[in-house]
């Protein structure tokens, strides 16, 4: 798939969610690979402007669900209603090496002064305006991912699909990118589905967190924590523990230490 395709996220929609306030509606969604139902009867509504994180162990079907929402894969059974305008940001930025940064942001759009202006404004939003004439090969990983984000947001999608977009970044850059994505999503208000392995990232950013396990959404919880969210906050820790338990990660109790009698 070309970067332009990624940005425009395929048009193989199976329908549009019509209910006011609802961006996505899935009913009894099933996807089977080699006789195994990776998604086995998923029911899900995503509200307009709602930021939802999807957690799940490796191989549970998170990317499969995201690809179906993007129109890059099809369900075997069930109803999929999605908005016509969707964009995806992947773990790797998927920039075109032969186009400069601005050309990457506006790729696939009609050329002209208006598109160029919008591209520059999108770059300014991610703090990269002065890199607009740079080549992708000269950018850092975090900068490249910011270009991918600008490319996605320029299209003003109703549904923004984020597939582990911070996973390849170092810890500090990841935190900065999380803050940036949080701020941009509050400003642009797309419905967001963020696929991640990182429980703290999910709790930090999302209004709502889902856990996918054995083909089903076993958890659907609202975060409702005041911002800015601090992982040291006891409410944050309670939610993290619950989500880890739902993911099948149970914390081992720390054995009591024997007092040293010598
Ligand atoms: N096109 C395909 N053909 C066959 N099997 C597939 C295909 N796509 C995905 N699968 C299988 O479906 C399962 C779910 O894959 P998926 O990539 O959705 O998981 P994931 O939860 O995103 O995993 P990870 O967190 O490791 O990225 C895996 O066992 C994978 O091998």
Q: Which atom of ligand 1 is nearest to the CA of 36?
A: 12
Spatial distance between the Cα atoms of 197 and 135, rounded to a whole number of angstroms: 31
Higher pLDDT, 229 or 120: 120
Inter-residue contact 243 to 202 (CB < 8 Å): yes
For the cut 60, the answer to whether the pLDDT of residue 4 exceeds it is no
In terms of Cα–Cα distance, which of 202, 161, 215, 235 is closest to 54? Answer: 202
For the cut 80, the answer to whether the pLDDT of residue 257 exceeds it is no
The strand pairing partners of 22, in sequence order, are 47
CB atoms within 10 A of CB 5: 15
Query: Ligand 1 center to residue 141 CA distance, Å?
Result: 25
> What is the model's pLDDT at position 252?
53
Which residue of 33, 65, 67, 92 sits with most ligand 1 atoms within 8 Å of its CB, as the best mutation to test the pocket? 33
Query: Ligand 1 center to residue 233 CA distance, Å?
Result: 34
pLDDT digits (tens, 9 = 90+) for 136-190: 999 999 999 999 999 999 999 999 999 999 998 899 999 999 999 999 999 999 9
% of the chain surpassing 70 pLDDT: 88
Angle in degrees, 0-180, between the axes of helices 141-154 and 113-125, rounded to the nearest 10: 130
Q: Which domains does the chain have, with CATH numbers?
A: 22-247 (3.40.50.300)
> What is the model's pLDDT at position 231?
85
| Structure-token match 């079907």, residue found | 61
């Amino acid at each position: 798939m070309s970067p332009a395709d990624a940005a425009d996220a395929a048009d193989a929609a199976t329908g549009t969610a019509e209910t006011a306030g609802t961006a996505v509606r899935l009913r009894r969604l099933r996807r089977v690979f080699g006789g195994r139902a990776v998604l086995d009867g998923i029911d899900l509504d995503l509200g307009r402007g709602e930021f939802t994180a999807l957690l799940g162990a490796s191989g549970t079907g998170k990317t499969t669900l995201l690809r179906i929402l993007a129109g890059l894969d099809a369900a075997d059974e069930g109803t999929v209603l999605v908005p016509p305008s969707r964009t995806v940001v992947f773990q790797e930025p998927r920039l075109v090496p032969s186009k400069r940064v601005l050309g990457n942001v506006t790729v696939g759009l009609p050329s002209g002064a208006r598109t160029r202006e919008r591209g520059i404004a999108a770059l300014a939003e991610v703090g990269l305006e002065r890199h607009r004439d740079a080549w992708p090969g000269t950018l850092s990983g975090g900068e490249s991912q910011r270009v991918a984000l600008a490319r996605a947001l320029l299209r003003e999608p109703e549904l923004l699909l984020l597939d582990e977009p911070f996973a390849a970044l170092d810890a500090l850059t990841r935190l900065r990118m999380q803050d940036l994505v949080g701020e941009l999503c509050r400003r642009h208000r797309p419905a967001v589905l963020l696929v991640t392995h990182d429980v703290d990232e999910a709790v930090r950013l999302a209004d709502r967190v889902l856990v996918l396990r054995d083909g089903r959404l076993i958890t659907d919880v609202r975060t409702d924590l005041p911002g800015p969210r601090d992982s040291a906050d006891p409410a944050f820790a309670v939610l993290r523990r619950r989500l880890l338990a739902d993911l099948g990660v149970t914390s081992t109790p720390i054995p009591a230490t024997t007092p040293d009698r010598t």
